[in-house]
Structure 1
Amino acid sequence: MKTTSLPLAGKPAVPVRPRSRLRHWPAALLLLPFFAMLILFSLAPMVWVLVNSVHTEQGLSLANYNDILSSPFYRQAFDNSLRISVWSSVIGLVISLLGAASLRRVSGRLRRLVVSITNMTSNLTGVPLAFAFIILVGTNGALTLLLRQWGLIEDFRLYSSNGVILIYTYFQIPLGVLLLYPAFDSLDDDWQAAASLLGARLWQYWRYVGLPVLAPAILGTFILLFANAIGAYASAYALTQGNFNLITVRIASLVSGDIFLEPNMAAALSVLLMLMLLLVTAVNQWLLKKGARHAR
């Protein structure tokens, strides 16, 4: 193996051996289980979905996509999923933004307690969450009967689109707080003091300083909340028994064969759902790049 030397003034040259390119292979081998899991549970199912989405009884065809796009029933499923995902993401984002901003103003002990509770409640999803909402605010729920007795509500239907938005918003808030809370570390308290000394009001500070700095984190959090909502299944199914027309409920019914067993149609619906998420992500990246150019 060849060696090189680095001449130093007044000192003999010290031979330096070139670094071997194979020194990282032992560490790289530890990643093989990760790549195996990625291929088996992410890439392989995605390829299967793409291939089977164009399979029909007549062979390879785009008939499944044509049936979906021409069906008012499936278009309604996409419309309901989009509407509920957007509303729950926006409401959850606003509440999470206020909550994350408030966490910076409280004491350290209270902050740690709230973060711990948020971590715990972020795992309460699916069937247990739907069951809890049915007990509390269902037709004969404890809170519903109490509010009705006080005359604060007359008729509240949990098993409707508003009820689904309510339950989706609930599990969006903990995730939004956990995602936005670290972003507030990028804000310096001295900025608000300097803005106040220059005559800026609180809303002006947030309008021209705070929110522009937090914009990338806010947009990224909205995308994650949107993806979390549009891909949710168990909570809506347990709440409405599959009677509310959502795209995830339709995919599950086609795969399980509740009415007809049509896995190829379910694959086509899954592909359209993935394309929708890719489009939203691409728009988010475009807005982030545009905001970065304006900032420069």
Structure 2
Amino acid sequence: MYKEFREREALQKIKNHKIYLLALLLPFVLFVIGFELGPMMAMFKNSFYADDGIHLTMNQYITIFKSKFYLQAIKNSIVISIISAVISILIAVVTAYSFTKFSRKIQNRLLMIANVTSNFEGIPLSFSYIILLGNNGLFTLLFAKLGWNIFADFNLYSWTGLILVYIYFQIPLAILLIYPSFQGIKQQWKEASALLGGSTISFWLRIGIPVLLPSIVGTFSILFANAMGAYATAYALVGSNYNLLSLQIASLVSSDVTLKPQLGSALGVLLATTMIGAMWINERMMRRIRRDLR
């Protein structure tokens, strides 16, 4: 009898503890609903209204898919996101691997620097690049005075300059995401590979890279979504000179000339769909990779 009472008391404590944890989680749930799901549902609903905001219609989506201008914006955003994500991952893999060669104390400091740098984006980042590499930037004028025409054919306010800035704020984030995967590669694996006659290259091709691949694929989807949604960096650097999806959405919902929030909502839905699609493909690929590694 006493044992049953103690078991019931233990179960009640566990139940009360779960209720307490759910109560603590409630503010976060309300925050997600209020600032994530709520605006998303409002945007989705608004995309099916005509410009008058009264009549339901599919004309906003028809306008987008019939317009070469908006299709070009989608294409440009996807291209710059893929290019910046791929280059950033390649650099981050090498950099994260080099971190592991230092002592734990230095690794922590390097990760702290990467963490701080990953938050340096938007208008401050674009302004810094303009000061350093703009037409009258510090490095541009300095090298020109020294007779080195390193930046003679480089234009910061071009497609190349935009990709360069995107890569800059993508690399630290990629390092932070890929670095933990290197901790999963054990020294015993390298020693076993060497004892069996395997070279360093064969180890990375047969063991190292397959172990890192799920993390690399997952990082790619995050970097892709990060670049697709970037607005302040591109706006501060090139303004409306380049046709990007995020810039077009902003111009449609906040412009004094072409104010069309319904059309902007439709573009926002397509942007969200592209991101979700990329993450879904990434999840499928990661499942297949993990299944093949077993």
TM-score bracket for the superposition, by shorter chain length: over 0.9
Correspondence 1:37-48 to 2 at 5 A: 37-48=31-42
**One-letter code of the match for 2:27?**
P
SS of corresponding position for 1:44: helix
Aligned to 1:99: 95
**One-letter code of the match for 1:73?**
F
**One-letter code of the match for 1:144?**
T
SS of corresponding position for 1:176: helix
- Native 8 Å contact 2:115 2:172 kept in 1: yes
Shift of 1:24: 2.3
**Which has more strand, going by share of residues?**
1
> Paired residues, what number?
287
Where do 5+ consecutive residues of structure 1 fail to align?
Answer: 7-13
Aligned to 2:234: 236
Shift of 1:5: 4.3
Correspondence 1:1-296 to 2 at 5 A: 5=3, 16-17=7-8, 19-20=11-12, 21-56=15-50, 57=52, 59-148=55-144, 149-296=147-294
Q: Residues 253 and 110 of structure 1: is their aligned pair in 2 closer, same or farther, counting only changes over 3 Å?
A: same
For the residues of structure 1 that align with 2:20 and 2:195, how far apart are their CA atoms?
A: 57
Asked which structure has the greater CA Rg, the reply is 1
Q: Residues 130 and 16 of structure 1: is their aligned pair in 2 closer, same or farther, counting only changes over 3 Å?
A: closer
Shift of 1:173: 0.7
- Native 8 Å contact 1:101 1:181 kept in 2: yes
Q: TM-score, normalised by structure 2?
A: 0.92
For the residues of structure 2 that align with 1:292 and 1:162, how far apart are their CA atoms?
A: 36
For the residues of structure 2 that align with 1:256 and 1:151, how far apart are their CA atoms?
A: 41
Where do 5+ consecutive residues of structure 2 fail to align?
Answer: none
Of 111-120 and 81-90, more deviation after overlay is shown by 111-120
SS of corresponding position for 2:183: helix
SS of corresponding position for 1:55: coil
For the residues of structure 2 that align with 1:45 and 1:265, how far apart are their CA atoms?
A: 15
Of 155-164 and 56-65, more deviation after overlay is shown by 56-65
For the residues of structure 2 that align with 1:129 and 1:16, how far apart are their CA atoms?
A: 59
For the residues of structure 1 that align with 2:257 and 2:205, how far apart are their CA atoms?
A: 52
Shift of 1:152: 3.0
Q: Residues 147 and 191 of structure 1: is their aligned pair in 2 closer, same or farther, counting only changes over 3 Å?
A: farther
Shift of 1:23: 4.3
**One-letter code of the match for 2:197?**
G
Shift of 1:4: 7.2
For the residues of structure 1 that align with 2:6 and 2:86, how far apart are their CA atoms?
A: 63
- Native 8 Å contact 1:137 1:144 kept in 2: yes
SS of corresponding position for 2:78: helix
Q: Residues 147 and 195 of structure 1: is their aligned pair in 2 closer, same or farther, counting only changes over 3 Å?
A: farther
Per-residue CA distance 1:80-119 (angstroms, 9 max, x = gap): 1111111111111111111111110112332222112112
Q: Residues 219 and 4 of structure 1: is their aligned pair in 2 closer, same or farther, counting only changes over 3 Å?
A: farther
For the residues of structure 2 that align with 1:199 and 1:23, how far apart are their CA atoms?
A: 55
For the residues of structure 2 that align with 1:46 and 1:65, how far apart are their CA atoms?
A: 17
For the residues of structure 1 that align with 2:115 and 2:192, how far apart are their CA atoms?
A: 35
**Which has more helix, going by share of residues?**
2
- Native 8 Å contact 2:218 2:286 kept in 1: no
Let me know the Cα RMSD of the aligned residues.
1.7
Q: TM-score, normalised by structure 1?
A: 0.92
For the residues of structure 1 that align with 2:158 and 2:150, how far apart are their CA atoms?
A: 20
